[in-house]
Chains A and B, each alone.
Chain A
């Protein structure tokens, strides 16, 4: 398939500044974005794809999406190849548009090397005595001792407040993961735990206990995605990607802040729509489990149960393979098995592939597992994060 002529460049704007002592890099990104959008006759609300490289302050594209208040982004790309990034982004944008992943792609570059900062990735620090030019939210957020534990704790606290979710219900998520991990010879934690074990473990960041938290592990993983032609030529079960969705979520200016849901409310439906299936069709789910609350919120947001019903859904072993209705994280997940370099996304896909191939441990293998979902949330649910969902089918 050729991508020739599949997309158009309809806005282009060069910032007039050559020396910007009075503006931040984030501001220059946003002003540049506004200039290009105005040139095209479009607005920030029309943007559904955002592309940036290492000059964008913050964590991938998420800080700039939040800074600019982009509300409709469904495709993110922060590929970094130095000064050629933005030309490469044009090619990636064409691919995304041709694939129907977005319709209006915004590509931005900005920085202030003349101010001694922000010129290149990793070089964003200010000189002594100079003003910072790091992530725009940093001064207002990074000073308060936020960590993954307590920012996810804030989500759990609010979820409990609004929906009556209990620590015992959250504990069932860990219990289910531990039931699976006992069969995984590589699992970091192999002991089966009880609800009582979880709620009686020491409090880390209210209301999350030690056993509500994932493990910290060294490690790694890799995936190979191929064309259908290559797939047919290989002697392995064919696991077809039939749906994918993504979405960032952040405080976006702070109005209507709602920490009881994640970006899965957008990434999930996009993946299900593309796949032409529903949550009820899913035989196995890999759900990012940095903390128990992460799982509960994502299950709700993906549509496995109604909002606020996650506590009831996960209780009584409903996530345990062979016991409950939705077997999850049959490798033991991040909660018990592995969370390599504090990033669990790839192990989510790997275990879904094992299940679809029928290569999971026999004690946790889901019978006739032909349709699986892998979903993750990166960054922090309590501040800004990126959600991603894929739906996989055994062919």
Chain B
């Protein structure tokens, strides 16, 4: 699904704060690619992406394209919202790390822990598109 076809969520996503460390992620996001960081020293993928591996302190971390697939670890439906309910939660990616995100394109009340989800990118307010997840 292209961005133009993506159903906009009720809640606008603010522009993410982009740092020199995270810029490659957001540049790829603008092209619809979901990247994660993996350490070539210890082999582990981590999230959020860092220059230095949080598991072994090596700076041999590399960007890796991920299909952005995983399962819902947990979520909460935020009812107290002027733009309608929205869902925040964690996805456990198939590569291992858990990612904080919004679940979209779904009836919030139908979501279940363990449910398979896949990434898509959502436009933000003046920034690069942000990764959100929808039922697979």
Contacts and interface: CB of A to CB of B under 8 A. Distances in A.
Interface of A: 21-24, 26-27, 30-31, 34, 43-44, 66-69, 126, 131-134, 136-147, 149-151, 153-158, 161, 202-208, 251-255, 257, 259, 383
A215 to B, nearest CB: 15
Contacts of B99: 140, 254
Contacts of B19: 24, 131-134, 136, 139
Interface in B1-47: 11, 13-23, 26, 44, 46-47
Instruction: Determine chain B's interface SS by DSSP, over half rule.
Output: loop
Contacts of B20: 21-24, 131
Contact of A206 (B49, B52, B76): B76
B57 A253 contact: no
A134 B78 contact: no
B98 interface: yes
Contacts, number: 173
A319 B127 CA distance: 48
Among all A-B residue pairs, the 10 with the closest Cβ atoms? A69-B54, A153-B76, A254-B97, A132-B17, A253-B54, A257-B98, A253-B46, A140-B48, A158-B74, A139-B16
Nearest to B92: A257
B75 A157 contact: yes
B90 interface: yes
Interface in B54-102: 54-55, 57, 59, 73-81, 86, 88-90, 92, 96-102
A140 B100 contact: yes
Contact of B90 (A142, A154, A206): A154
A50 to B, nearest CB: 14
Given A43-B57, A257-B92, A145 B76 contact: no
B57 A255 contact: no
Contacts of B130: 143-144
A144 B17 CA distance: 12
Nearest to B21: A24
